[in-house]
Structure 1
Amino acid sequence: MVSDSDIIEYAYKNALRGNALDRETVIALLEIRAESVAAGKLGEAARKVAAEITENSGRVWASIGVDYAPCPVSCHFCSFGEQWGVVREEYRWSTAEIVDLAKKFLYGGAKWITLRTTEYYSLAELTALAKQIRQTIPGNYGIVANTGELTDQTARLLMSSGVSVIYHSLRLREGIDTGLSIKSRLETLAAVQASPLDLAFLVEPVGSEHTSAELADAFLTAMNYDASLTGVMARIPVPGTPLGHIPVVSERRLAQIAAVTRLAAGCNAPDICIHPASLLALEWGANVVVVEVGAIPRDTGNSKKEWNNFDLETAFTWFKQADYKVDRGV
């Protein structure tokens, strides 16, 4: 019988060779008990791989929720779902407010600025925002669009406006816990893959209800569509939504999933994100964290104050504690 130690050692060596892992091994790593000694060994191996692949660089992803409005898609985990009645008001940050927030984060050390919108936010407004940020703030940073479904044409339109990365995923239990079809999500992923844009695709939103096989399949989908950034995002229980009564998974389990994505991706996806941010996950191989402001689907607020009190200063402190240097965009 193959031991946990044997599987971890195989995954570690495979990652250093730059290879992706097969589904069976990904599931086996995810099946290791999060509270076990073996999970700690998994994390140690993933951190060593992170040091090699990223040259020990940590990166901050700053996300701005630009519009706050009820959404007719009504995903079961999302506070914006029109059916749940949690969010009743509509609000959009002005271009000036968004540019000021982008300046704050980029001059503060963020590597990417994400413009996150609801499903039906105007593409024309989004491209105008990206252009304004590029024109106003020089630097070697990425603009990420996290928006509705895309075609080949709209993906290229976003790229021409200054967007360099698309955040998109086939979410866990898509079409069951979400109001969008698997087909439409995959069509967007294919459009991004066919464009020069980079793809960011986290395994999300992870809850205690999801099996290791589901997590592995989501990750492998990210790899099939050439994601350059992956990792894991927790499902945050929002009271009043259909999944709001199910507790969040433990920090150790999330860190384990991040470690598995690190080992499973090899050098194919050099950046591994953990959200919400976790020092343990950084110590277990993740190298990207997210600072969020504005409209956030995991909460009912709409504020310029950083979500969960996780700000740039905390991010840099945690990177230092996890022995990363920070790769800044400006």
Structure 2
Amino acid sequence: MTDLELIEYAEKQIHSGSLLSREQIVQLLGIAPGSEAWTALGRAAHRAAMDLTGGRAYLWGAIGVDFAPCSMNCDFCSLGEKWGIVGDRREYDEAETVRQVREYAESGVRWIVLRTTEFYSQAQLGEMIRHIRAQVPGPYELGLNIGEFGLETANWLAGCGVDFIYHSLRLGEGKDTRFAPQNRIDTLRAIQASPLKLVFLVEPIGVEHTDEEIADICLLAADCGAVVSGAMARIPVPGTPLGVYPQLSDERMAQIIAVIRLACGSCVPDICIHPGTRLAMEFGANVTVVETGAIPRDACCCSGGKWHQFDTVRAGELFGQAGYTVHQTA
């Protein structure tokens, strides 16, 4: 099929319950940004998003709990101990965390996630989750982005009041990270086998990644039962090994979002872009991220404000411009 024929085919398949093939995904990822086919891809993905979501958009609010050196030393992460970027350590206490969760909840955020470095105490997190549930009522969903764990811990976290886990097999896993890929996959499968929902973006995408690598992670996310997928750009952090390589353009990130939207169809109805752009929303993303606290894509702790001043108001404005309305519940 030509690119335009494949785009038309993919759009017609969004309710089929099946995924595009690896070869089809790679073909769509190979379309030149700015071309006629690229424009057609974006339009098809936006129509698919409107069809699959009813024009409903959602916000993701992240809280980086601990700004501290991490011994795992991922080549893209500002928190790597080897890079010497983290100066003064900073950790949100329970009261600060509750305050930020409340702010997100009152601002209409659907998914609120606490993010920690790899070896943060899971027992401490469990207590924090229980405290948040007691202090901040509301229809929001509460999740974690933490280290590796098995099925027993997954079930325990669900019992503590955790709704979802953010986890992924990162692009370059085992090469740009110090993690064994199978360990990451084992955690993904433990989440899948538990009551927890999984959120799994294709990330961190940079100029160093091939279309084939992106396609493989897209398909893995769907196979692991992710309820939200999408794409996150690698942000070049000076001082990290990958910090010398440029960030992908908004046009390329929007294309990747469009491909994931059409590739997954009804199998993964909610597609997230980070950092959020209007173009990516116009190309099929209906979820974006607001974050505060420790940011692994920055050299400082974003204490009190939001990363790059991108807050819930700005996110809502962009979604409105792209034809969506923001909701807190499905």
The answer to whether the superposition gives a TM-score over 0.5 is: yes
Confirm or deny: 8 A CA contact 1:67 1:118 kept in the other structure: yes
Q: Quote the RMSD (CA, aligned, Å).
A: 1.1
| Aligned-residue offset at 1:89 | 2.7
Q: TM-score, normalised by structure 1?
A: 0.98
Partner residue in 2 for 1:12: 11
- Partner Cα distance (1:181, 1:17) in 2: 35
- Partner Cα distance (1:56, 1:19) in 2: 22
- Partner Cα distance (1:125, 1:37) in 2: 52
Provide, for residues 269-302 of structure 1, a one-character-per-residue CA deviation record: whole Å limited to 9, x for no partner.
1110000001101111000000000000000121
- Partner Cα distance (1:130, 1:61) in 2: 17
- What secondary structure, in the 3-state scheme, does the structure 1 residue paired with 2:13 have? helix
- What secondary structure, in the 3-state scheme, does the structure 1 residue paired with 2:176 have? coil
Aligned: 1:100 with 2:99: yes
Partner residue in 1 for 2:286: 287
- Partner Cα distance (1:60, 1:44) in 2: 22
Provide, for residues 3-25 of structure 1, a one-character-per-residue CA deviation record: whole Å limited to 9, x for no partner.
21001011111113332111110
Provide, for residues 310-329 of structure 1, a one-character-per-residue CA deviation record: whole Å limited to 9, x for no partner.
00110111111111111115
Provide, for residues 181-217 of structure 1, a one-character-per-residue CA deviation record: whole Å limited to 9, x for no partner.
1011011011001101111000000001100000000
Confirm or deny: 8 A CA contact 1:199 1:228 kept in the other structure: yes
- Partner Cα distance (2:250, 2:143) in 1: 26
- Partner Cα distance (1:88, 1:227) in 2: 35
| Aligned-residue offset at 1:37 | 2.0
Q: Structure 1, unaligned stretches of length 5 or more?
A: none
- Partner Cα distance (1:300, 1:216) in 2: 30
- Partner Cα distance (2:138, 2:105) in 1: 9
- What secondary structure, in the 3-state scheme, does the structure 2 residue paired with 1:16 have? coil
Aligned: 1:136 with 2:124: no
- What secondary structure, in the 3-state scheme, does the structure 1 residue paired with 2:203 have? strand
Partner residue in 1 for 2:324: 324
Partner residue in 2 for 1:38: 37
- What secondary structure, in the 3-state scheme, does the structure 2 residue paired with 1:243 have? helix
Partner residue in 2 for 1:308: 308
Aligned: 1:263 with 2:249: no
- What secondary structure, in the 3-state scheme, does the structure 1 residue paired with 2:242 have? coil
- What secondary structure, in the 3-state scheme, does the structure 1 residue paired with 2:289 have? strand
- Partner Cα distance (1:282, 1:18) in 2: 23
- What secondary structure, in the 3-state scheme, does the structure 1 residue paired with 2:14 have? helix
Aligned: 1:254 with 2:253: yes
What are the equivalent positions in structure 2 for 1:167-178 lying under 5 Å apart?
167-178=166-177
- Partner Cα distance (2:71, 2:102) in 1: 32
What are the equivalent positions in structure 2 for 1:98-247 lying under 5 Å apart?
98-247=97-246
- What secondary structure, in the 3-state scheme, does the structure 2 residue paired with 1:258 have? helix
Provide, for residues 155-206 of structure 1, a one-character-per-residue CA deviation record: whole Å limited to 9, x for no partner.
1111111111110000001000001110110110110011011110000000
Confirm or deny: 8 A CA contact 1:112 1:329 kept in the other structure: no
| Aligned-residue offset at 1:88 | 3.1
Q: Using the TM superposition, name which of 85-94 and 282-291 deviates more.
A: 85-94
Confirm or deny: 8 A CA contact 1:18 1:267 kept in the other structure: yes
Which residue type is aligned with residue 295 of structure 1? A
Which residue type is aligned with residue 306 of structure 1? K
Corresponding residue pairs, total: 329
Partner residue in 2 for 1:27: 26
Q: Structure 2, unaligned stretches of length 5 or more?
A: none
Identity of aligned residues (%): 49
Provide, for residues 22-60 of structure 1, a one-character-per-residue CA deviation record: whole Å limited to 9, x for no partner.
111011110101221211110110111111111110000
Which residue type is aligned with residue 322 of structure 1? A
- Partner Cα distance (1:142, 1:21) in 2: 30
Provide, for residues 71-109 of structure 1, a one-character-per-residue CA deviation record: whole Å limited to 9, x for no partner.
000000000001111113322101110110111111011
Which residue type is aligned with residue 90 of structure 1? R
Aligned: 1:90 with 2:98: no
Which residue type is aligned with residue 123 of structure 2? A
- What secondary structure, in the 3-state scheme, does the structure 1 residue paired with 2:243 have? coil
